[in-house]
Structure 1
Amino acid sequence: MKKIHLLIIKTFIRPFIATFFVVMFILLMFFLFKYVDDLIGKGFEWYTILELMYYQSMVQISMALPLSVLLSSIMTFGTLGENYELVAIKSAGISLQKAMQPLVVLILCLTVSSFVFSNYILPKANLKFYSLMYDVRNKKLAFLIKPGVFNNSIPDYSIRVDSKDEDGKMFGIMIYDHKGTNGIPKVIMAKEGEMKKSEDGKFLIFNLKNGVTYEEQSSSSGVYNPRQILSRSRFKETEPKFSMESFDMQKTDQGAFGNSTVMLNLKGIVRKRDSLSKQMDTLYRNTGRSLGNNFKQNNIAIGYSKLKVAPKKIDDNILKSIPNGSRLSSIQSASNTITVITQSLANSVPRDEDLKGEIIFTSVEYQRKFTLAASCVLLFFIGAPLGAIIRKGGMGLPVVIAISFFLVYHIVTTVAEKSAREGSINPVFGMWIAFIILTPLAVFLTYKATADSALFDINQYKQFFVKLFKLKQR
């Protein structure tokens, strides 16, 4: 490999790694802002949040990778052009295409890696993320006791405190124990106390001081007795225990999410689409058979009679062909038939729409596996010529141009994907429309960069309009 190729690769890798991690950091911050209500105040361990962010970072690679390729390619060739290194490369007899060859090979390797990632790793990351996020959203609120408010986080207990200090000590404690009392609560009142966990973390221990316990015995007959016994006992210090099982985050079986389309690879998506198509065929067959039975003539004499009767022509007014005595019964029979058909369609149409939507979604996710890889190649052939044309490096103009082109690509892809999922356009065309639109632009920019065109030179446009203005004056 030539030294010039190593120089270009090193110039590309540094901004690529930097921009990739910057973009990932920004996307993770957006994720935290979006789900902050689900994460704060629920007593999660730090590693649970880190695990959630790790899986989310795997999901966000599909957006961070193309943007990093576009941005780093613009910065690389913009820096080379700004430092007149591209001029030196061309003066040595190396064209822009040959200078781009090592990066093309690198991008192709990155493209293959991104396809393998989206087909094998991303489905598993989606499965882990959505199952863990489901557990997070369904976890009970953390045991935060607020003064003056009854807290019912622990099953069968209601706890209230008058005040708390900064050290965690509580004053004016009242505990209602509804566990195994047949509706008659056991009341514990204490002047002060503090809360701590047991060594194994399975129990919550209240260290109560200077209090009293009230307990009313229930009637054995189940009938209220005004003379039943009320016991009262005082204590200087006691430590009731409460089970912490209700606060543990239960792990959901990941198999419950495994059939979701976003958690399948290409083979799984194909199998699911075939299964959905079979279900739709079965639905059409059963619906057609059910509706066809309403129009068939039921007559046990059919096939046994040798009489041949000419078919009777029916005019536009069908009632005229029906005898007067049978018209009312015919109308009622037709009305009943229409009612049965309407009810049958009302049951089958929603299921048909759901199946169509799922089949379209499988086609969208199938194409997404390839569009992630193709977007890296497309955005590279947009970014590299742009950098060679604008000849500006750093984080200024290249960042603005890169974000502008990426927004165009992302908006077109999002709108087309939404239209495809709604059934307005073909799913294959919808997922590739951004690639189809921007490919001519990539070819045009590559041609202009190869021809050393001053596409963004303002002076060229000024001279053009000056000449045009002079021609008009003549």
Structure 2
Amino acid sequence: MFGFRQIHRQIFKELAVSFLLCLGALLGLILIGRMLQLKELFLSQNLGLVEIVELFVYLTPFFLLLLLPISCMLAVFLTFLRMSTDNELLALKAGGVSLNQLLAAPLLFCALVTLGNVGVSFWGVSWGMDNFKATVLEHASSRTKLVLQPGVFNKEFPGLTLFAQQVEPGGANLGNVFVRDETKPSVPATIVAPRGKVATDTEQGQIIFLLNDGHIYRQSDGKLDVLGFDSYAVRLDLTRLMGGFRLGSDRPKEMSLNKLRELENDPATAELWDGVFLKKLKVEIQKRYALPAACMVLGMFALPFAFSFQGLKQHLGLVLALGCFLVYYTMLSIGFSLGETDTLDPRIGLWIPNALFAFMAVAGINMAGKERFPHIFERLSHIRFRRKAASTC
């Protein structure tokens, strides 16, 4: 019993280390890509390192939903591929330890990763995105009020030139305001108003310059149009700085599972976007269940899969495992598309990949336990050797 505990402890330790390395590498690559997409936000808002790290912490759950299954699969595959290649499994088998007796550690590991992804799926994604949007708007609002200096032309924001002769602390009130709005290049406008203030629209993710009792000047086709107004809002949509992230109303993939369920059961949801929104909701709900389950399914699939490629170098095994995940994700993406177009019920389309890989996992573990699983890499090496010998003769 003590010997088995030691074996399971060592396997679990190696699984955890491989998992953290894979997850850290994949997450790092994605966050670097997002950093390039969000560079305009960082530069325009002059964010420091602490603020950037804070934003990326809030973004992390959004990516973990998909990264946890692939990292779990890679950890199990690489761990047992190494044990198989180094003949550790052969030594254990010679000592009377069967494959079924080694399943406890990977099963526990996959179960823990699955539980972690359940938390990310049900609550983590919405928590992260809510805090991300709120933090960006807070920084943008603070920065806007900070850069507005009396008597200074400000061009911090793309497409807008701002000037105010008087500025109260915090942007509560502006006096003698001039705005050059080129956010719509086809109809640039010059706005002049004696009074104004800065506000934030958290629902739409916008910074708003509210102007009163002014005039709008537009020139087109050699004509100058002048329009007076009592109240006018110049809106700065921060979405353009977000590299694809919208700061307005939540999309289904940014909501918590409870919120998704509430909207699904709301009769008014069926009328939004001519029913398209409801279809997206249903797909997203099944996705929130399917991806956590994928941690267990793909992890168990990787176990016999590693045995079949005994002797394969780990960097080649990594590429092979990523290829298998690509097959899984392609099937999942097809399920997304078919579900959103109402061609196939998402309860079927999004669970077919899990069902197929689960079947292969059970069959593979059963064959490996009976030592009937094909060692593909060894057979390929043997065929190559025979061909080389035949060509020599």
- Indicate the TM-score class for this superposition, using the shorter chain for normalisation: 0.5 to 0.7
CA 1:19–1:179: 2 relative to 1, 3 Å: same
- Write out per-residue CA displacement over residues 410-445 of structure 1, whole angstroms, 9 at most, x where no aligned residue: 222123212211222212222223213323332343
Q: Is the Cα–Cα contact under 8 Å of residues 73 and 299 in structure 2 kept in the other structure?
A: yes
Q: Distance in 1 between matches of 2:330 and 2:40?
A: 28
> What is residue 291 of structure 2 aligned with on the other side?
372
> What is residue 405 of structure 1 aligned with on the other side?
324
Q: Which amino acid aligns with 1:403?
A: L
Q: Which amino acid aligns with 1:432?
A: W
> What is residue 271 of structure 1 aligned with on the other side?
262
> What is residue 213 of structure 2 aligned with on the other side?
none
Q: Is the Cα–Cα contact under 8 Å of residues 15 and 109 in structure 2 kept in the other structure?
A: no
Q: How many residues align?
A: 301
> What is residue 164 of structure 2 aligned with on the other side?
156
> What is residue 68 of structure 1 aligned with on the other side?
71
> What is residue 280 of structure 2 aligned with on the other side?
361
Q: Distance in 2 between matches of 1:355 and 1:259?
A: 18
> What is residue 233 of structure 1 aligned with on the other side?
none
Question: Which of 305, 320, 338 is 1:419 aligned to?
Answer: 338
* CA apart distance, 1:180: 4.2
Q: Distance in 2 between matches of 1:394 and 1:131?
A: 46
CA 1:279–1:404: 2 relative to 1, 3 Å: closer
Q: Is the Cα–Cα contact under 8 Å of residues 131 and 257 in structure 1 kept in the other structure?
A: no
* CA apart distance, 1:124: 1.1
Matches within 5 A, 1:115-134: 115-133=118-136
Secondary structure of the corresponding residue to residue 95 of structure 1: coil
- Write out per-residue CA displacement over residues 228-249 of structure 1, whole angstroms, 9 at most, x where no aligned residue: xxxxxxxxxxxxxxxxxx99x9
Q: Distance in 2 between matches of 1:441 and 1:121?
A: 31
* CA apart distance, 1:140: 6.1
CA 1:127–1:279: 2 relative to 1, 3 Å: closer
Which is helix-richer, 1 or 2?
A: 2
* CA apart distance, 1:389: 2.4
Query: Which is greater in Rg?
Result: 1
Is structure 2 residue 50 aligned with structure 1 residue 47?
yes
Q: Which amino acid aligns with 1:381?
A: M
Q: Is the Cα–Cα contact under 8 Å of residues 22 and 74 in structure 2 kept in the other structure?
A: yes
Q: With structure 1 as the length reference, what TM-score do the two structures score?
A: 0.56
Percent identity over the alignment is 16
Q: Which amino acid aligns with 2:288?
A: K
Is structure 2 residue 374 aligned with structure 1 residue 454?
yes
Q: Distance in 2 between matches of 1:460 and 1:153?
A: 67
* CA apart distance, 1:111: 1.1
Is structure 2 residue 5 aligned with structure 1 residue 85?
no
CA 1:461–1:395: 2 relative to 1, 3 Å: closer
Q: Distance in 2 between matches of 1:14 and 1:111?
A: 17
CA 1:39–1:423: 2 relative to 1, 3 Å: farther
Q: Distance in 1 between matches of 2:177 and 2:129?
A: 46
Structure 1 gaps of 5+ residues are 144-148, 158-177, 183-245, 250-255, 281-351, 467-474
CA 1:422–1:38: 2 relative to 1, 3 Å: farther
Matches within 5 A, 1:180-199: 180=176
Matches within 5 A, 1:152-231: 153-156=161-164, 180=176
Which is strand-richer, 1 or 2?
A: 2
Q: Which amino acid aligns with 2:355?
A: I
Structure 2 gaps of 5+ residues are 148-152, 166-173, 179-234, 239-246, 387-393
CA 1:134–1:386: 2 relative to 1, 3 Å: farther
Q: Is the Cα–Cα contact under 8 Å of residues 75 and 398 in structure 1 kept in the other structure?
A: yes
Q: Distance in 1 between matches of 2:286 and 2:383?
A: 47
CA RMSD, 1 decimal: 3.7
* CA apart distance, 1:24: 1.0
Q: Which amino acid aligns with 1:372?
A: L
CA 1:457–1:48: 2 relative to 1, 3 Å: closer
Q: Which amino acid aligns with 2:329?
A: H
> What is residue 15 of structure 1 aligned with on the other side?
18
- Write out per-residue CA displacement over residues 45-79 of structure 1, whole angstroms, 9 at most, x where no aligned residue: 33322221111112111122111111111111111
CA 1:68–1:7: 2 relative to 1, 3 Å: same
